[in-house]
Amino acid sequence: MAEDPSTGLVVAFSTAGSPEEGRHIANALIGEQLAACVNIVDNICSIYRWQGGIQSSPESLLIVKTRASLIPTIESRLRELHSYDVPELVAVPIVHGAQPYLEWLLSSTRLPEASIDVP
């Protein structure tokens, strides 16, 4: 029986304060092979508790397809690239997916021990 390619793969969610920031972050994650794909959903409304009050902000949602082992590096890059004091990063495991898609996801991301020059 072949190994399930979904093992160790996640979909991670983050938000950005503007479409431009979302695209900047997505391009960095893809360019550094930290993610195979980042979907950007613009014009969402986030309502959240921050600094003791309820806030509401327009944001862009980033949906990141990647390896679970790359999440610590993605978290570090978000802290470097993001305008927020506390950037969102939540990852959920992929429990099933189309085998060709999952194989593409694996081939499009680097292994965590591989290093590349970050511009």
DSSP 2: P
Looking up tokens 């970050």 gives 118
Q: What is the pLDDT of residue 28?
A: 98
Question: Who has greater pLDDT, 12 or 118?
Answer: 12
- Residue-wise pLDDT tens digits, 69-114: 999 999 999 999 999 999 999 999 999 999 999 999 999 999 876 5
What pLDDT is recorded for position 111?
87
| Backbone torsion region of residue 99, taken as left when φ is above 0, otherwise alpha when ψ lies between -120 and 50, otherwise beta | alpha
> Where along the chain do its domains lie?
9-107
For residues 26 and 82, the answer to whether their CB atoms sit within 8 Å is no
Q: Which CATH class is domain 9-107?
A: alpha beta
Helices (H), the chain: 19-31, 71-81, 99-107
Q: Report how far apart, in Å, the C-alpha atoms of 11 and of each of 64, 90, 115, 118 are.
A: 5, 8, 22, 23
